[in-house]
Amino acid sequence: MSSAGQFAVVFPGQGSQSVGMMSSFADSAVVRNTFAEASDALGQDLWQLAAEGPVDALSQTINTQPVMLTAGVATWRAWLEQGGARPVLLAGHSLGEYAALVAADVLEFAEAVKLVRFRAEAMQEAVPAGEGGMAAILNLSPELVEEACVEAAQGQSVAAANLNSPVQIVIAGHAAAVERAMEACKTRGAKRAVSLPVSAPFHSVLMKPAAERLAERLATTRFSAPRIPVLNNVDVKIESDPVAIRDALVRQAYSPVRWIETVEAMTAQGLAGVLEFGPGKVLAGLVKRINAELAVEAVIDAEALKRVVAQYRQV
């Protein structure tokens, strides 16, 4: 129990990375050791990549996924080392779910780093470059976005991929269908429709070949029962059986991230606050838009960590 009431910790996914994102933790032994562990697992210096870039390399899916996982786990470990309380619930947005599973002791960290590198490669190779796309739709209801996607498909695939907040939904699918859906959303009153600079149409049915490869890899990966409940993306459900957790991760690759419902489920559990662990403040902003009543903090650097630990110290 923390001194500030029960809370959840959430971990961001791709899109929150930036060069220099962990620089405030440069003197933290636990953070540096976490990056060293990940670097040893992959045979690649992830600390240098996070600290110095270049941005093009950091933004490549095969690099972004392990770096963001490592940043989230490093922040989690620093939190515990400084006396931060244990949350009653964990969740992650897309890739962030893997960090949540490491924090819950479901996955060994070094194994998870290799797993997300494999996941990134499988996703990258599932759809030839230029054939898929993603776009953010602003200020249009999920129902109208879905209607626009059905109209725009025309024999191709396009659908909601990230239900991020009531005013932000990301769509994904074939590039041409995404373009048509953007226009269809605008005609239905969307404030904006913005193409996203991504290398693959994540969380769309086009990722099924990647999910099949991921399923084979997950079958040989050791999973343990979670020590802290993890609310998953695909079903907005807490699973304790490793077989069910694996299955949810496979389906997560080609199914929408149901973030609005995830935050609503946290609220239903009576939580007082939500903390985002890792670079950026994307999830903190989304949580606030979904439920303004929740106390939300983004633990993005060493100073924020120290301040928030003082609020949520183990008692």
Give the CA count within 13 Å in the CB-facing half-sphere of 285.
10
Residue 89 CA from chain centroid, whole number:
15
Is residue 94 annotated as part of the catalytic site, yes or no? yes
Is residue 93 annotated as part of the catalytic site, yes or no? no
* Residue 169 near residue 194, CB atoms below 8 Å: no
**Catalytic option among 2, 94, 204, 255:** 94
**CA angle centred on 239, ends 37 and 201, rounded to 5°:** 65
Rounded CA gap, 201 and 217, in Å? 21
What single-letter amino acid sits at 93? H
Structure tokens at 147: 């209607």
Contacts of 295 (CB under 8 A, 6+ apart): 4, 7, 272, 273, 274
Structure tokens at 184: 């269809």
**Catalytic option among 16, 203, 204, 255:** 203
Residues marked as catalytic: 94, 203
